[in-house]
Amino acid sequence: MTKLQKLPIGIQTFDDIRNDGYLYVDKTKYLIDLIDRGKVYFLSRPRRFGKSLTISTFDALFSGKKELFKGLAAEEFLERPDYRTYPVIKIDLSQVTTSEGLDGFRASLTRITKETAEDCCVEIPDKISPGDALRNLIRELYAKSGPLVVLIDEYDKPILDFLHEPRMAEEARAILRDFYTQIKSKDASIRFVFLTGISKFSKMGVFSAMNNLEDISMDKTYAAMLGYTEEELLENFSEHIDTAADGMKMSKEELIEKIRYYYDGFSFDGEVRLYNPFSTLRFLKNPEFNNYWFESGTPSFIARYMKDKKLTVEQFRGYEVSRDFAFAPGEIETATAASFLYQSGYLSLRPGVLDDFSLDYPNREVLTAMSSLLIGNIFGDNEDLNNARNRLRESLVNDNAPGVQSEFNKLLDKIPYDDYTKAAQSRAGYNGDAREWIYRSTLLSYIYGMGLDVEAELHNRKGRADMVVKFRGHIWVMELKMTKHYASATECATAALDQIKEKGYADAFDEAMLLGLAIDDNERQITAIEAEKKGSILND
């Protein structure tokens, strides 16, 4: 059996990947194109998407490590007669400490800059501001070695750390603005600049002096610069996919479809779709479908942001936005929720129906994880959440309709309906009952957050079911209705069940549980259910 090439999980250093025989998907053609046609660039991408590896690859290119690029697109560039090396200033702001407040942040940024200066054999005076430290470093390094390269990774990390403290966020921005202004002021000394981050909101505030900065975050030319296209996945990982398919006892085509469902779907131009590189590598290393991206360290600011803004998950499904939205400048503290989640990588662009674009979650992994955050915020206690998950799964497996009703009602006891009403009413294209939408979207998020397979508004030729839930071979087709439209709760639940049968929502399944749910908005509970298994009535 052929030994599979090692997968570079969590390895962000280009030298290590190339020297130690790890599989590398060649992206160097994009880097060469940027070097050839411009000078100062900014790129925003989600966490764990290859930004640090890109910074490391630029470092190797400008440092003249030709042996690392043999067989890659950049090899020809390194053999050009006019090729030359440059000293590199590389600063990673993910290493900056913010836990000790602004003074600690300022001292930490100065320390990291001085450490970078030491690597460049430049001495920086003590008791100096971060901006002055960077200015001295650029000046001294240029005097010593000529034109240089500046690479900044995770430029926005300090602002994200202070996101929930507006005053401190603004002061942190002022410190960073002074820091980054030094790059512009020393433009004549610099050959190339590349900055990365999770968001691009702070670009206007932090980089107000850098009027030559080119933002390539949504440039179609570089849409596939980070992440894996499906063509790259099949070309580079074919043997790994074959091995995983054999181990999971499914065809290669079936496995690719499932990998696509879980980890594909990121798009930064509305057209090119990308697989999450971290999750894809983790899956191929140990073939099991999990939420690897979130398990690797979900930023706490996302959970807190959702809770503070009282967001639902479903309100951003198929959310229509204009081109102005996608390119709009602004600051992260004042951004709309949709814009914030898009800039942070949790929503992705799709071609629009009514507008230029729409937003949605990239794939099942992100949708499930965001739902878990929402449900975790509602339950508060992890033990309560785990117990609820186990009880719901047991009820589904045992065809226990009253048990499913009971678990749903325990959730409905906890949700802040009045807070979520605005979310429902603001949903793009929403034209129904806001309260009914809140119940349906919260139950959907609950089921997604429990790690179950659920499809919302599953279409057939006669209509669409509210929810189809699948777990361990059991299928539940559910329809929700509000009791206020009927004479009684029982009549309401019966109408919901009858709609499932009349519209044929379960026709595609050999066996299924059909569940009509009646929701009383006054009691904020499911007050009646009618359940039927194909061919046998379960309740009178």
210 pLDDT exceeds 90?
no
Asked whether residue 317 is assigned to any structural domain, the reply reads: no
Query: In a 3-state reduction of DSSP, which class is residue 528?
Result: strand
Least confident of 82-91, 206-215, 263-272: 206-215
240 pLDDT exceeds 60?
yes
Amino acid identity for residue 362 in this structure: P
User: Tokens 């198929």 correspond to what residue?
Assistant: 318
Say whether both 153 and 103 belong to one domain: yes
Residue at which a domain ends, from 195, 222, 249: 222
Give, for 252, the enclosing helix (H) or strand (E): helix 252-263
| pLDDT tens digits, 352-361 | 766 678 899 9
- Cβ neighbourhood burial of 57 (10 Å; 0-12, 13-18, 19+): buried
Return the percentage of the chain with pLDDT > 90, whole number: 57
pLDDT at 200: 72
Q: What residues pair up with 320 in beta bridges, in sequence order?
A: 358
Query: In a 3-state reduction of DSSP, which class is residue 329?
Result: coil
Say whether both 142 and 285 belong to one domain: no
Return the percentage of the chain with pLDDT > 70, whole number: 88
Asked whether residue 333 is assigned to any structural domain, the reply reads: no
Say whether both 247 and 218 belong to one domain: no
Say whether both 176 and 238 belong to one domain: no
Say whether both 253 and 158 belong to one domain: no
Amino acid identity for residue 271 in this structure: E
> Mean pLDDT over all residues of the chain?
87
Band the pLDDT of 421: cuts 50, 70, 90: low
382-397 and 364-379 helices, crossing angle to 10°: 120
**Strands 190-197, 513-520: pairing kind:** unpaired
Q: Among 281-290, 350-359, 530-539, which range has the highest average pLDDT?
A: 281-290
The domain in which residue 125 lies consists of 14-222
Say whether both 217 and 235 belong to one domain: no
Say whether both 141 and 210 belong to one domain: yes
Could you give the CA distance from residue 238 to residue 255 in angstroms, rounded to a whole number?
11
531 pLDDT exceeds 50?
yes
| pLDDT tens digits, 449-491 | 888 888 876 544 556 788 999 988 899 999 999 999 999 999 9
pLDDT at 47: 86
8 Å CB contact between 159 and 176: yes
Residue at which a domain ends, from 280, 295, 310: 295
Task: Kindly state the DSSP code that residue 228 receives in the 8-state scheme.
Answer: B
8 Å CB contact between 183 and 209: no
8 Å CB contact between 519 and 478: no
Asked whether residue 462 is assigned to any structural domain, the reply reads: yes
User: How confident is the model over 39-52, as a mean pLDDT?
Assistant: 93
Residue at which a domain ends, from 196, 222, 248: 222
Amino acid identity for residue 265 in this structure: G
432 pLDDT exceeds 60?
no
pLDDT at 112: 96
Identify the residue with better confidence: 107 or 536.
107
Asked whether residue 29 is assigned to any structural domain, the reply reads: yes
8 Å CB contact between 72 and 28: yes
8 Å CB contact between 492 and 500: no
What does residue 5 show for φ and ψ, rounded to 5 degrees?
-65, 140
Least confident of 151-165, 312-326, 383-397: 312-326
Asked whether residue 337 is assigned to any structural domain, the reply reads: no
Band the pLDDT of 1: cuts 50, 70, 90: low
pLDDT at 462: 59
User: Where does 325-423 show beta strands of DSSP type E?
Assistant: 348-351, 357-360
Asked whether residue 327 is assigned to any structural domain, the reply reads: no
User: How confident is the model over 5-11, as a mean pLDDT?
Assistant: 95
User: Where does 213-298 show beta strands of DSSP type E?
Assistant: 214-215
8 Å CB contact between 407 and 529: no
Would you state the structure tokens that stand for residue 234, as one six-digit string?
């099949």
Cβ neighbours, 10 Å, residue 248: 14
Asked whether residue 383 is assigned to any structural domain, the reply reads: yes
Say whether both 433 and 503 belong to one domain: yes
pLDDT at 371: 87
For the residues of 429-494, what is the DSSP string, one character each? T--S-HHHHHHHHHHHHHHHHTT-EEEEEEE-SS-EEEEEEEETTEEEEEEEEEGGGSSSHHHHHH
What does residue 44 show for φ and ψ, rounded to 5 degrees?
-105, 135
523 pLDDT exceeds 80?
yes
8 Å CB contact between 154 and 92: yes
Say whether both 205 and 281 belong to one domain: no
Could you give the CA distance from residue 370 to residue 376 in angstroms, rounded to a whole number?
10
pLDDT at 428: 41
Q: Which of 331, 296, 53, 60 has the alpha carbon at shortest distance from 176?
A: 331
User: How confident is the model over 122-138, as a mean pLDDT?
Assistant: 94
CATH of the domain at 111: 3.40.50.300
pLDDT at 429: 45
423 pLDDT exceeds 80?
no
Asked whether residue 27 is assigned to any structural domain, the reply reads: yes
Say whether both 273 and 381 belong to one domain: no
The CA-atom distances, in angstroms, between 316 and each of 297, 345, 360, 449 are 23, 13, 6, 16
Say whether both 67 and 136 belong to one domain: yes
Say whether both 97 and 212 belong to one domain: yes
Q: Structural domain tally of the chain?
A: 3
Q: Which of 292, 264, 297, 268 has the alpha carbon at shortest distance from 278?
A: 292
Q: The whole model's pTM is what?
A: 0.88
Least confident of 264-268, 296-300, 361-365, 388-392: 296-300
User: How confident is the model over 361-372, as a mean pLDDT?
Assistant: 90
End-to-end CA distance of the chain, in Å? 60
